[in-house]
Amino acid sequence: MLKAINITKSYDGKLALKIVTFEVAKGEIFCLLGQNGAGKTTTINIFLGFIKMDNGQAFIGDKEVGIDETSHLTAYIPETVQLYGNLSGVENLDFFSRLAGFSYSTSELETFLNKTGLQSEAHQRRLSTYSKGMRQKVGIAIALAKNAAVIFMDEPTSGLDPKATSEFTKICKELAEMGKVIFMATHDIFNAVELATTIGIMKEGSLVQQIKSSDIDAGQLNQLYLETI
Ligand SMILES: Nc1ncnc2c1ncn2[C@@H]1O[C@H](COP(=O)(O)OP(=O)(O)OP(=O)(O)O)[C@@H](O)[C@H]1O
């Protein structure tokens, strides 16, 4: 579903990605680990079309990024989901769904919010009163409403408390069971083992490890990470 073939990217002559190649199948959760500056966000931004690669090819399904229209296939959950503070959860979801070309009834919008586990009492409340975890849930609801096949996430659990992280992990697994692909940059090794089907480790612009999470436990991954980076 997601394929990167020999992608390179440099900023001001400095290589940020040095030939990155990987594949992620439908229903998989790929967690990308690596130190600050390793190239995780750059990889995500290329797939989202926010920046252009220098060389290589990126595919989402059979669509080629930068050649075909791919924005309708993707959703993006950054560390802090940007929403309108003076609109409610339902109104934000309605606004961003319409932006993506979808028009839903209030009860349909509430069904998307319910799927993410956002309490019903919060649906009509202004976003400015939401916790970070609740904002992330609205972000996921937007991805569902958009019917995105691939959801890119950049450090989505950063700053979430353990309960909110656990809820977020559960929702991600449900999304994968629905056949979505999740591609996540994270610094949370323990959450990556719990969540991912495949874990990648990036170092200085190269994807130097790809490990099936079923082949490793958290302690082993922590050790491998420290030996790798
Ligand atoms: N817009 C930019 N202009 C110049 N250099 C950039 C730009 N964006 C990223 N870089 C550089 O590219 C390299 C990869 O950065 P990137 O943000 O992809 O890393 P990362 O793994 O996501 O890091 P972090 O964990 O801190 O988010 C770094 O050396 C960074 O300084």
Q: How confident is the model at residue 221 (pLDDT cuts 50, 70, 90)?
A: very high
pLDDT confidence of residue 94? 98
Structure tokens at 182: 């999740």
pLDDT band at 193 (very low <50, low <70, confident <90, very high): very high
* Residue/partner pairs of 8-12 with CB below 8 Å, 24 or more apart: 8/53, 8/54, 8/55, 8/56, 9/39, 9/42, 9/46, 9/51, 9/53, 9/54, 10/54
CA 41 to centroid of ligand 1, rounded, Å: 7
Return the residue whose CA atom lies nearest to atom 24 of ligand 1.
36
61 CA from centroid of ligand 1 (Å): 26
- Exposed/middle/buried for residue 20 (C-beta within 10 Å: 0-12, 13-18, 19+): buried
Residue 63 exposed, middle or buried by CB count within 10 Å (0-12, 13-18, 19+): middle
Structure tokens at 145: 């409403």
C-beta of residue 169 within 8 angstroms of C-beta of residue 191: yes
Mean pLDDT of the chain: 96
Structural domains of the chain sorted by starting position, each given as residue range(s) with its CATH number in brackets: 2-82+141-228 (3.40.50.300)
Displacement of CA 37 from its chain's centroid (Å): 18
